């Protein structure tokens, strides 16, 4: 019987599929770390108090990248080149979601609207990250090799999501509500398309590595399309709602250091 647990266990048990999984994850987290560092450096003068939280967000993402690389190193594996069709962050940028890298590479300060766009984009993508890590935590929190990493990253992603909710609500109260609503909706609808495409691509690559029969690959692809259909009709709405989180000022303190995994 196919299940999320059995599927990931199969990926985990094979060196090549595990290496691809960790390489994709590490690349995305490292990219997120760079983006947040640049945004923190370019925060407009009136929002400088937000810079330490954005920096903390980036530090966490960099830490996650190091953790995934350490998990590979622990098994004597080295990273592989990430296939372009599995590059979630790059594909989102191509859809015009988030802040363009050309803008982040310049030295021009960002606008308040840029910060709102960044937070809305993060609120959507951190929802996905939080849900994915929560699923892994549910099934693999006690795993001897990856359990500690899964718990740490899951906790961080929950903090990131709480931070996005709190900051977006602050901006909404300051009069940016309509812009936030529109940006969240655009980001969510684009994200679910990209997530579908990346999921199909990842499963295709994993299927070739693990030698999945055509029937199994077809069932998995059908499941991915079914999730997208649900998200396109109604599921995307969970990504655009805002509520004050239980974790207040979730990124207000120092980042937690990554334990030695390798």
Using H for helix, E for strand and C for coil, what is the string for 9-52? HHHHHCHHHHHHHHHHHHHHHHHHHHHHHHHHHCCCHHHHHHHH
Q: How many angstroms separate the CA atoms of 210 and 208, rounded? A: 6
Chain centroid to Cα 168, Å, comes to: 18
Residues 6 or more apart whose Cβ sits within 8 Å of residue 80: 19, 20, 23
Q: How many angstroms separate the CA atoms of 156 and 168, rounded? A: 18
Q: What is the CATH number of domain 4-239?
A: 1.20.1260.10
The torsion angle over the Cα atoms of residues 248, 252, 257 and 261, rounded to 10 degrees, is 40
Global confidence as pTM: 0.94
Q: How many angstroms separate the CA atoms of 129 and 210, rounded? A: 25
Helices (H), 75-145: 88-94, 101-105, 112-140
**Biggest alpha carbon–alpha carbon distance for the chain:** 57
Q: How many angstroms separate the CA atoms of 79 and 77, rounded? A: 7
Q: Domain locations in the chain?
A: 4-239
Over residues 48-60, the pLDDT tens digits come to: 999 999 999 999 9
- What secondary structure does DSSP assign to 167-216, as a single string? HHHHHIIIIIHHHHHHHHHHHHHHHHHHHHHHHHHHHHHHHHHHT--HHH
DSSP summary character for residue 72: H
Percent residues over pLDDT 70 in the chain: 96
Over residues 61-112, the pLDDT tens digits come to: 999 999 999 999 999 999 999 999 999 999 999 988 889 999 999 999 999 9
Question: According to the model, what pLDDT value does residue 262 have?
Answer: 41
Over residues 31-54, the pLDDT tens digits come to: 999 999 999 999 999 999 999 999
Give me the helix-helix angle, 177-210 and 4-13, nearest 10°: 60
């Amino acid at each position: 019987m196919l299940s999320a647990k059995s599927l990931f266990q199969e990926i985990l048990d094979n060196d090549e599929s595990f290496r691809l999984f960790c390489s994709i994850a590490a690349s995305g987290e490292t990219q997120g770390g760079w983006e947040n560092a640049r945004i923190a450096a370019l925060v407009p003068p009136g929002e400088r108090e937000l810079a330490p939280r954005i920096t903390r967000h980036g530090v966490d993402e960099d830490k996650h990248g190091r953790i995934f690389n350490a998990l590979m190193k622990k098994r004597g594996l080295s990273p592989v080149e990430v296939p372009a069709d599995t590059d979630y962050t790059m594909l989102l940028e191509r859809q015009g979601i988030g802040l363009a890298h050309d803008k982040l590479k310049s030295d021009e300060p960002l606008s308040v609207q840029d910060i709102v766009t960044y937070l809305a984009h993060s609120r959507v993508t951190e929802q996905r990250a939080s849900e994915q890590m929560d699923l892994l935590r549910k099934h693999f929190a006690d795993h001897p090799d990856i359990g500690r990493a899964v718990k740490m990253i899951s906790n961080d992603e929950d903090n990131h999501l709480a931070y996005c909710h709190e900051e977006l609500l602050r901006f909404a109260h300051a009069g940016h509500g309509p812009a936030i609503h529109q940006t969240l909706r655009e980001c969510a609808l684009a994200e679910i398309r990209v997530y579908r495409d990346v999921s199909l691509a990842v499963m295709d690559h994993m299927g070739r590595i693990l030698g999945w029969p055509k029937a199994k690959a077809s069932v998995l692809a059908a499941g991915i399309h079914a999730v997208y259909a649900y998200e396109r009709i109604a599921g995307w709405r969970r990504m655009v709602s805002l509520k004050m989180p239980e974790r207040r000022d979730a990124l207000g303190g120092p980042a937690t250091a990554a334990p030695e995994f390798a």
